[in-house]
Amino acid sequence: CLQRPSSEPLMHGEVQSPQYPQPYPPNLQEQWDLSVPEGYQIRLTFTHLDIEASPGCYHDALIVLYDGKVVGRFCGSENSADGHHPGHEPIISPDNRFTLIFQSDKNNPERHQNVGFSAQYQAIDVDECSAPDPGDGSGPLCDQICLNTLGSYLCSCHHGYELRSDQRTCLLSCGGGIFDEPEGHLFSPGYPNPPPYAVSCQYIISVESGFTVSLNFSDLFYIESVDTDEGPSCLHHWLEVTIPDKEPMKLCGTKSPGLIDTNSNTVKLDYHTDDEGMSNGWSLDYSTHRVRCPIPDKVAKGRVTPMLTEYFYRDYIFVRCNQGYKLMMDGHEIESFSTMCQHNGQWHLTLPECHIIDCGEPEPLLNGGVTFISGVDNQYLSVVQYHCDEPFYYLLGGLNVSFICEADRQWRSNQDPLLRPTCLPVCGRPTKHLSSFQR
Amino acid sequence: IIGGDEAPEHTIPWQVLLNIDGGRGGGMVIADRWIMTAAHNVKTHEGIIASNDTVRIYMGLNDVKALSVLPVYPASVHVHPEYNNPNHANYNNDIALLKLQEPITFQASIMPLCLPAESDTYVPDTMGLVSGFGVTDEGKRRILANKLKYVQLPLVEDETCQNSVTSLKRKRASIPILTSNMFCAGIPEGGKDSCQGDSGSGYVLYDNGRFWAAGIVSWGVECGKQGTYGVYTRVANYLDWIKKTMQEN
């Protein structure tokens, strides 16, 4: 009779002999395979054990096995002189498994009824980190730092190192990768000390388009160079700076490159040393600046705002026309104009022009007319004067009314802007009078 | 016009010639859409108002023979609502307005006459001018004038006018009544007067450089006869009706 294995290992449980706490029957052979989750051990504690005692627990016994090997063979009862009682100390499994076998022979002493045993087990976490170096050359469980967790462990590395893909050993960190913050600090592994062995590190500075990267190397700069017939050469150790659309530049020697304006939003740095020689490395601060756009041209009869000495990426400018002028773009009038400095250093729209407005033809006057006094083509500030067909009509409100083309494209009178000129008939005044000289 | 003269061109530019069902009448231009005339020109004694298509209006002419080359202005008729003259005996409220369908443009030959201003008064013996294409005299005969004629006539005191009418009534009972909406103009010795065919034309007074419509040729007992005067509708009494009619139409 085998205990059916459960699908998921339990964290704790109880095991009892058959019919416990009644006396166990003879001729028994019963087995329990205990297991807890991996990363845990089993702590087995007997709450009661009363098994017929015999020398070496030969007749009836509870046998505890691990991996087929007997860990303990128990019988008797607490305080009995014979048998082998486990006492109150728990039994710990080497890993997450234990096997218990309870057996009884065919004879049971009639004068004494043994009840068997009752035991509890629970999972206890294994401290993998305390495991000794196996000494087989494979090294300790973790190269540098071991962190025990429930049921498992984690390896970690000291600052300046990074965990290898085996999740166990540590590697000197290049500190490489992609840097996309607007400013930052980069340095070669171990800087200002030389790295322990050959390194091949790549650093990519990539910020938003519309910004340019400037590299500012610190004074302490040392990358081994080799003297050749053609001068110093970055033969074995180098730092290669790659800017898009430009030839890569290999740096070495003891003189810091200082400030390098890349005029690009991406820069790639490849640092290489071999197993030999000595390079202390380098360190730099990088910063970013917005792309500059050209100073906009002047707009005749208008103005560009704001007027700045320099314009950068994402700066907006507006164009406004002087009073009496309108914004024109591609032959069409526009209500307003603004343009933005783009990431490529160009304004996204060309500047418009300011054209003088016109009020259109002044309204004709019934039984009258309109005369241009000054101005051109009904343009801004042109002046017209209305008159009526005299002597048959006269202008309501005055002899002559002047209208000026205003900035709102309306012809307006300086006398009463709301009064539309009107010609009223003249009554009772013939052009010829009856003459009678005869008395 | 009895005892008058032919009017030179452009001297009486408000004069209108009406032809209504063949009958001749006069009128005066008072606005670019409005002609003023006598009610009896457009409303018969039976109370029938002339239809729009029977009213023919001519302006800007001095010679009726030139009428055929002039445009005819279609118009609608507005008679004073209190004009009622079934027996030829009551010319009270003898005033009507004709509204032109299209406005006219004024020029030397066509100009409006002024309506009375508040300051304008009817002062007896003031010389006025009446014109028309009506009956005139040539020797001993009365003939219809084909050329515009005019005559200067003084305003007659109301009492003098009333006495004249009363005196005539003693001889002829059918003479129309004289009301406060009328005034008389003429000379006691006769020989100068308006006459048949002049009805509706203006009797105008001159004041401060302008002519204004003081009266409308309305009626009279014979023409130019000694002791009789021409009777005219007193336009100043109808300013409210004129303005109301023009505004409402």
Q: Which residues of A409-438 are buried (b: 16+ CB within 10 A; e: fewer)?
A: eebbbeeeeeeebbbebbbbbbeeeeeeee
Q: In the predicted model, is pLDDT for residue A1 greater than 70? A: no
Question: Averaged over A278-282, what is the pLDDT?
Answer: 90
Strands A12-16, A231-233: pairing kind: unpaired
What is the pLDDT at residue B66?
Answer: 85
What is the pLDDT at residue B161?
Answer: 95
Structure token digits, residue A209: 């388009």
Confidence band, pLDDT 50/70/90 cuts, at residue A274: confident
What is the DSSP annotation of A109-164?
-TT----EEEEEEEEEE--GGGSPP-SSSS--SSSSEEEEETTEEEEE--TTEEE-
Chain B interface mutation, best of A427, A433, A434, A435, highest count of B Cβ atoms under 10 Å: A427
| Beta carbons of B210 and A427 less than 8 Å apart | yes
Q: Which residues of A touch B100 (CB under 8 A)?
A: none
pLDDT in tens, A152-192: 899 998 777 788 888 988 877 787 789 999 999 999 988 88
The separation between CA A316 and the C-alpha centre of its own chain, rounded to angstroms, equals 28
Q: Which residues of A192-210 are buried (b: 16+ CB within 10 A; e: fewer)?
A: eebbeeebebebebebeeb
Entry field: residues in chain B? 249
Nearest to A18 by CA among A104, A132, A121, A105: A104
Structure token digits, residue A422: 């009107």
Q: Which residues of A touch B112 (CB under 8 A)?
A: 425-428
Average pLDDT over chain A reads 89
**Which position has the higher pLDDT, A344 or A193?**
A344
- A428 closest CB neighbour out of B9, B152, B212: B212
Whether residue A428 lies within 8 A of chain B, CB to CB, comes out as: yes
Active site amino acids of B: 40, 94, 199
Which A positions 377-406 lie with beta carbon below 8 A of chain B?
Answer: 389, 392-393
What is the pLDDT at residue A337?
Answer: 96
Helix/strand/coil for B73:
coil
pLDDT in tens, A19-75: 888 888 888 899 999 999 988 999 999 999 999 888 888 889 999 999 989 999 999
What is the pLDDT at residue A7?
Answer: 63
Which B positions 14-43 lie with beta carbon below 8 A of chain A?
Answer: 14, 30-32
Task: Report the run of H or E that residue A98 belongs to, with start and end.
Answer: strand A97-104
- Give whole-number Cα distances, A317 to A326, A336, A350, in Å: 17, 11, 11
Chain A interface mutation, best of B9, B12, B33, B111, highest count of A Cβ atoms under 10 Å: B111
Q: Which residues of A touch B209 (CB under 8 A)?
A: 429
What is the pLDDT at residue A172?
Answer: 77
Q: Which residues of A touch B211 (CB under 8 A)?
A: 427-430
Q: In the predicted model, is pLDDT for residue A112 greater than 80? A: no
Helix and strand counts by DSSP (H, E) for chain A? 0, 38
Chain B interface mutation, best of A434, A435, A438, A439, highest count of B Cβ atoms under 10 Å: A434
What is the pLDDT at residue A131?
Answer: 81
Which range among A93-97, A243-247, B135-139 shows the weakest confidence by mean pLDDT? B135-139
Phi, psi of A367 (to 5 degrees): 60, 30
A404: β partners = A383, A412
| Beta carbons of B108 and A429 less than 8 Å apart | no
- B32 closest CB neighbour out of A425, A428, A433: A425
What is the distance between the alpha carbons of residues B47 and B84, in angstroms, rounded to a whole number? 7
What is the pLDDT at residue A266?
Answer: 96
What is the pLDDT at residue A74?
Answer: 92
Confidence band, pLDDT 50/70/90 cuts, at residue A436: low
Segments in chain B below pLDDT 70: 139
pLDDT in tens, B89-101: 899 999 999 999 9
What is the distance between the alpha carbons of residues B83 and B75, in angstroms, rounded to a whole number? 20
Which ranges in chain B belong to alpha helices (H)?
39-42, 158-171, 239-248
